[in-house]
Amino acid sequence: MTLYLTTPIFYVNAQPHLGHAYTAVVADAASRFARLDGREAFLQTGTDEHGDKIVQAAAAAGVDVRAYVDEISARFRAAWPLLQVEPDNFVRTTDPAHVAVVQQILQKVYDQDDIYFSDYAGLYCKGCERFLTEKELVEGKCPDHLTPPEKVAEQNYFFRMGRYQQWLIDYIKANPDFITPERYRNEVLSFLSEPLEDLCISRPVSRLHWGIPLPFDQRFVTYVWFDALINYVSGIGYPDGPDFPRLWAGAEHLIAKDILKPHAIFWPTMLKAMGLAPYRRLHVHGYWNVNETKMSKSIGNVIRPEEMVADFGADSVRYFLLREMSFGLDSSYSPEAMLARRNSDLANDLGNLFSRSLTMVKNFAGGRIPAPGPLNPDDQALADASLAMLGDYRDKMRAWAFRQALEAVWEVVGRANRYIVSNAPWELAKDPGQEQRLATVLNTLLESLRCITCALQPVMPTAAGKMAASLGLEPAVRLADQEHWSLLAPGSPIQLGENLFPRIKGKK
């Protein structure tokens, strides 16, 4: 089944930062891994461009809203290639095609009486762009934005979300993998243990003009979440585009915990009302802090992906993000942690292993892959560990356990480095009687490097491409084809490439 993977569409009231970059990198690595694992994959991202927040941000910048959203959306689009994130589609909620689909869905749901008009008074958080319940407040404030919500009383349209509550509970209970990691599934079930209110899905034009007009009442625009969530189907040709059925059947959404409720409650009930099957899975990750503090403009500690890439390169940033955070839990960024990963894991462990091995092949084997003799137990142990690593890596990647998958790879990197020390090829090279043994040791190392390279492709596409080229290989197409020993052709040349991960000095 094709993986159709989405990121949230990001609000254009802020420029891309570390948190957005993490989501984008995870999504990209997961799609690349799916392809390596033999599946087709389609990655979609985009920008969310309607609502109060955007109007305010444009006003603060002193720019016309349309010009403002065009500019910030373009910045998101430009940020991803810097990180080697390659989406197959980029949706904007101001795209006419998206607007048309939102209106079509509203009309359908309205016609079947799942939308009604009513008075409403509630507590509105502008940061969340939604009404909060009393229970959600902490000391009278929104726990995420630390601001008191506004009291808003007006007439609005409502989606009969409550109608689908029991269906949703039953569905989540019957499908344990629907929302993962499990902590978030439990959070949603606990929220659903209280009666669900209907969802207010409109804003009067008098209060907000920057939105999609309701097709059945032009005095109102669509509430931003009812507009934004629909990107996941409008972007792939709902309702009758040729790719829609195939892609929707494999839909998986990736988000952070901040937008769990819209994705785990609003969206499945909306899909139910639309007559569509639920998405297959919701993957929820934690939050990045910076030096143990919340990242925010006012604190002035916002980390920009382009600066990280300029300092460390895209491969190292991707590696850091996937290795440092346990998927689902919060993590803290610091330049020191980034530098440590770069210098210790990448320069010392991986980079040295690669350059040492290839240099020895150049110096002791004429720069060609040597033909191995029989493996002794030490060689066999490295061979077994390398192949077992590929299986283990595949299982962990399939489970979205990126950190653990990389730990499994580094276990073999460490093992291969120790194998060099214990077999001391430079000693074998001095003794003509050990020619066969030397060839076996070097071949075993190169085969192990091939396995490591394959596993790193989804995480560090450029570096892994260079590593493959050094071994005289094209990047691996299928992981399953790599899970064998002795795939390198003896006699074929290796290339001593550039130093992949030079050590970086810390900034003062």
Asked if residue 201 lies in contact with residue 242, where contact means CB atoms within 8 angstroms, the answer is no
In the complex, least distance from residue 33 CB atom to ligand MSP, rounded to whole angstroms: 19
Shortest distance (Å) from residue 233 CB to ligand MSP: 11
Q: 144 vs 198, which CB is nearer to ligand MSP?
A: 144
Determine, following the binding rule CB under 6 A, whether residue 333 of this chain makes contact with ligand MSP. Answer: no
Q: Which is nearer to ligand MSP, 14 or 381 (CB)?
A: 14
Dist. CA 190–CA 267, nearest whole Å = 17
Q: How far is the CB of 288 from ligand MSP (least distance, A)?
A: 4
Cβ neighbors of 296 (< 8 A, separation 6 or more) are 302
Within 172-211, which residues bind ligand MSP (CB under 6 A)? none
Near ligand MSP in 30-89, by CB under 6 A: 48
242 Cβ contact partners less than 8 Å away, ≥ 6 residues apart? none
Q: How far is the CB of 346 from ligand MSP (least distance, A)?
A: 23
Contact status: 142 vs ligand MSP (CB under 6 A): no
Q: How far apart are CA 229 and CA 106, in angstroms?
A: 13
**Treating both helix axes as pointing N-terminal to C-terminal, what angle do 165-174 and 267-274 enclose, rounded to 10 degrees?**
110
Return the closest-CA partner of residue 458 out of 501, 400, 386, 417. 400
Strands, sheet with 150-159, edge to edge from the N-terminal-most edge strand: 130-132, 115-125, 150-159, 199-200
331 DSSP 8-state letter: E
Q: In sequence order, what DSSP letters do the residues of 266-310 get, joined into one string?
A: IHHHHHHHHT-PPPSEEEEE--EEETTB---TTTT-PPPHHHHHH
- Asked if the peptide bond before residue 245 counts as cis, ω within 30 degrees of 0, the response is no
Question: Among all residues, which ones are annotated catalytic?
Answer: 17, 20, 125, 128, 142, 145, 294, 297
Using rule CB under 6 A, residue 11 touches ligand MSP: yes
3-class DSSP assignment, residue 145: coil
Contact pattern for ligand MSP over residues 291 through 310, marking x by CB under 6 A: ----x---------------
- 259 scored as a contact of ligand MSP (CB under 6 A): yes
Cα angle 82, 256, 389; round to 5 = 70
Tokens for 443, please give them. 């071949």
Our finding on whether 19 is near ligand MSP (CB under 6 A) is yes
Q: Nearest approach, Cβ of 263 to ligand MSP (angstroms)?
A: 7
Pair type for strands 10-11 and 281-285: unpaired
Which of 42, 288, 485, 501 forms a contact with ligand MSP (CB under 6 A)? 288
* Omega before 372 within 30 of 0, i.e. cis: no
Smallest gap from Cβ 66 to ligand MSP, in A, equals 18
Establish if 8 lies at the interface with ligand MSP (CB under 6 A).
yes
CB under 6 A: which stretch of 33-41, 199-207, 254-262, 297-305 binds ligand MSP? 254-262
User: Which of these ranges, 28-36, 69-77, 226-234, 426-434, lies near ligand MSP under the rule CB under 6 A?
Assistant: 226-234
Interacting span for ligand MSP (CB under 6 A) from 150-158, 251-259, 422-430, 490-498: 251-259
Cβ distance 27 to 327 under 8 Å?
Answer: no
Please pick, from the candidates 5, 9, 314, 471, the single residue that binds ligand MSP as defined by CB under 6 A. Answer: 9
**CB of residue 248 vs ligand MSP: minimum separation in angstroms?**
15
Instruction: Compare residues 8 and 278 and give the one whose CB is closer to ligand MSP.
Output: 8
Q: What is the dihedral of CA 318, 320, 322, 328, to 10 degrees?
A: -130
Count, residues near ligand MSP per rule CB under 6 A: 19
Which one among 10, 68, 159, 223 touches ligand MSP, defined by CB under 6 A?
Answer: 10
Interface residues with ligand MSP (CB under 6 A)? 8-11, 19-20, 22-23, 48, 228-229, 231, 255-256, 258-259, 287-288, 295
